[in-house]
Structure formats: structure tokens, C-alpha cells
């Protein structure tokens, strides 16, 4: 039986680095929250589940988390997941994750359950609706459900556990949502080609020059110039959200250095990923990502200098340069 930490590393080795920096009990709480959300991700994104079954299972997952249904039948169904993906691996071990949830202190458990249930409900709503993004507001609505609510979850846990955090709760919650949208917009850019293959293209129709043009048409060679213009709009959108993410980080007192690092690393990785995606036609054909050396270098420098807001601003500018 895999441990929670083994599941975390299997789900995302990079994210595990940040979680391992957190003080207790935040480390355990965020580990469990992250893994619960990966189960939700599997139910939304799985290539082996039909649309109607995804909706039913997401709704049942919500009931199980809320104590409204026994979990045995759902656990057995998820143990049958056959895909060779990190999300499916976590789903196959969801009994371990649910047992971990039971060990979380009640106030934190209430936050985690409420926010994961909200996100799962949003995923079910969008699965039912389908990949129809008429406007940027539609895209933001989807991203709020899968990532903005994660920003709310983390902000509530930080406010619960850290002195001096959450004094301006409304502003921090709003910026936490923006942080989630920032990371998700970068994920949209990174995953354009892969999402196309599963039938979802996260590009609003309002970004396209011709009302008769579909988002999937962006991948046709004849539409290269249009695709690059759309990429520019997505990059600019991600940049605006990342600006708010930096404001969020500044609201965490510097004495909570390890928590700041937990937030800082995905921020820096997103800034760098955006830089290598900007004006890069390869994003239409393959995943663009940092090298392993870049990840190690960014992590090392963040640990040394991440207490300084001035350094963070300067380093973000440097990482945003395509050839840095």
C-alpha cells in the first residue's frame, strides 16, 4: 500500500518539493488536499470514462467526501482505473487518501472537504456543459472551479495556521483565486496540443477572428498566424494573473519563509514556462517545459533569496526573458 508521500511524489515530483518545505501540520493537510483534488482531476479528465459516468462519479465523490454516502463502492470502482497516469494512480489508492483525511484536525478537515467538494461540483458542471468557451469569462469560470478554488482552500489553511496571515481576508482570497488562475492559464498554454487530442481546447471563441472558426482550427497549418495571435493573448492573460500572484505572496509575512517558498516555487516555474512558451509555435505540437537544470537552479536560488520581495521581483523579470 502506497503512503501519502509516495502518492504525492508519483502525482507530481515538482509539487512534492514545495509541500515538503511546509511546516507541520500544513504539510500533511495540503498533501491530503492535493491528493483529493487529483482524484477529482481523474474523474474529470479520464480517457476511459464516458461523459455521463464522469458526472455521476464526481457527484458520488462529493457525497462520499461530505459523509453522505458510504465510500466502499466508489473506492472499488476507482481501484479498477486502468490508465497509466498520475491521476489514475492516485485514484486507485483513494482509500489511502481518505484515511489520511480522517487524520486531519477537524477545523482544517472542514476547509479541505468543503473546498474539494465545491471544485468537484464545478468539474461536474463543466463536464455536463462541455468544452464550450464563448468568452474569456467562460474560461475564467472553468479555471475558477479547477484552480481558483484551490487558491481559496490554501488561503483558508494559511489563515488558520499562520499568525499575521488573513488579516485582510477579502483581498487575500481574491488574490488567491488569481494565483490559481495564473497557474491554470499557464497549464492551458502548456497543454494546448494534449487537450486538443482529448477534445478540449481551452480557447474562448472571442479570441478568434472569425465567428465561423473553431478553436480546433488553430492547429491547421493554414491558421498559423491566427494561432500565434491567440497564443499572445493567452500569454498576456497569464502575465496579468501572475502579477496578482506576486501580490498574494507579498501578503505572507517573511517570517513564514517555508510557506512563502511553497507559493514562490510554482510562481517562478510558471513565469519561466511562460517565457519559453511566448511566441513559440512548438506549443501547438508538443509540451514546452523547463529543463531539469532550470528547475534545480530556480529552486536553489529561491531557497536562498526568496525571503526578499525585491529579489523576487527582479528574478521574475529575469526569468521572463525568453533566452535567460
pLDDT tens figures, 179-192: 999 999 999 998 88
Specify whether the CB–CB gap between 38 and 11 falls below 8 A: yes
Inside any domain, residue 245: no
Specify whether the CB–CB gap between 204 and 274 falls below 8 A: no
DSSP state of 145: I
Inside any domain, residue 321: no
Specify whether the CB–CB gap between 289 and 273 falls below 8 A: yes
* Residue span of the structural domain in which 90 resides: 1-105
DSSP state of 23: P
Inside any domain, residue 136: no
Inside any domain, residue 55: yes
Specify whether the CB–CB gap between 110 and 66 falls below 8 A: no
Q: How far apart are alpha carbons 261 and 240 in whole angstroms?
A: 21
Q: What is the pLDDT of residues 21-59, one digit of tens each?
A: 999 999 999 999 999 999 999 999 898 999 999 999 999
**Residue of 224, 240, 233, 217 whose CA lies nearest to 277:** 233
Tally the domains of the chain: 1
Running along the chain, 324 residues long, what does each successive block of 10 average in pLDDT? 89 87 96 97 92 96 95 95 93 96 97 98 94 93 97 97 89 97 94 76 90 85 92 96 96 94 96 93 84 92 94 95 63
Inside any domain, residue 36: yes
252-259: long-range contacts (C-beta < 8 A, 24 or more apart)?
Answer: 252/158, 252/162, 252/165, 253/162, 253/163, 253/164, 253/165, 254/307, 254/309, 255/164, 256/162, 256/164, 256/165, 257/306, 257/307, 258/21, 258/22, 258/23, 259/22, 259/23, 259/26, 259/158, 259/162
Q: How far apart are alpha carbons 122 and 233 in whole angstroms?
A: 25
Inside any domain, residue 44: yes
Inside any domain, residue 303: no
Q: Could you tell me the CA-to-CA distances from 22 to 16, 26, 51, 150, 241 in Å, in that order? A: 10, 6, 37, 17, 24
Full-model pTM: 0.93
CB atoms within 10 A of CB 23: 13
Q: Is there a cis peptide before residue 238, judged by omega within 30 degrees of 0?
A: no
Inside any domain, residue 47: yes
Amino acid at each position: 500500500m502506497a503512503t501519502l508521500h509516495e502518492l504525492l511524489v508519483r502525482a507530481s515530483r515538482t509539487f512534492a518539493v514545495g509541500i515538503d518545505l511546509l511546516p507541520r501540520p500544513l504539510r500533511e493537510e495540503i498533501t491530503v488536499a492535493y491528493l483529493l483534488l487529483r482524484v477529482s482531476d481523474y474523474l474529470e479528465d479520464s480517457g476511459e470514462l464516458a461523459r455521463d459516468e464522469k458526472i455521476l462519479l464526481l457527484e458520488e465523490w462529493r457525497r462520499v467526501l461530505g459523509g453522505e454516502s458510504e465510500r466502499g463502492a466508489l473506492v472499488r470502482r476507482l481501484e479498477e482505473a486502468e490508465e497509466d497516469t498520475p491521476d489514475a494512480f492516485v485514484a486507485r489508492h483513494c482509500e489511502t487518501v481518505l484515511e489520511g483525511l480522517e487524520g486531519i484536525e477537524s477545523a482544517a478537515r472542514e476547509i479541505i472537504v468543503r473546498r474539494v467538494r465545491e471544485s468537484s461540483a464545478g468539474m461536474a458542471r463543466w463536464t455536463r456543459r462541455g468544452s464550450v468557451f464563448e468568452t474569456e469569462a467562460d474560461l475564467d469560470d472553468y479555471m475558477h472551479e479547477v484552480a481558483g478554488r484551490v487558491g481559496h482552500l490554501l488561503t483558508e489553511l494559511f489563515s488558520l495556521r499562520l499568525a499575521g496571515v488573513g488579516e485582510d481576508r477579502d483581498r487575500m482570497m481574491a488574490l488567491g483565486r488569481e494565483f490559481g488562475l495564473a497557474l491554470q492559464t499557464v497549464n492551458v498554454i502548456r497543454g494546448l496540443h494534449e487537450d486538443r487530442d482529448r477534445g478540449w481546447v481551452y480557447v474562448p471563441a472571442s479570441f478568434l477572428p472569425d465567428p465561423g472558426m473553431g478553436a480546433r482550427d488553430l492547429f491547421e497549418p493554414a491558421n498559423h498566424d491566427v494561432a500565434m495571435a491567440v497564443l499572445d493573448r493567452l500569454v498576456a492573460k497569464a502575465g496579468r494573473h501572475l502579477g496578482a500572484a506576486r501580490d498574494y505572496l507579498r501578503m505572507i509575512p517573511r517570517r513564514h519563509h517555508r510557506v512563502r517558498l511553497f507559493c514562490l516555487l510554482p510562481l517562478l516555474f510558471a513565469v519561466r514556462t511562460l517565457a519559453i512558451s511566448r511566441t513559440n509555435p512548438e506549443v501547438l505540437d508538443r509540451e514546452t517545459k523547463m529543463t531539469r537544470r532550470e528547475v534545480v537552479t530556480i529552486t536553489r536560488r529561491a531557497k536562498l533569496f526568496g525571503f526578499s520581495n525585491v529579489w523576487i521581483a527582479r528574478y521574475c523579470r529575469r526569468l521572463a526573458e525568453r533566452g535567460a
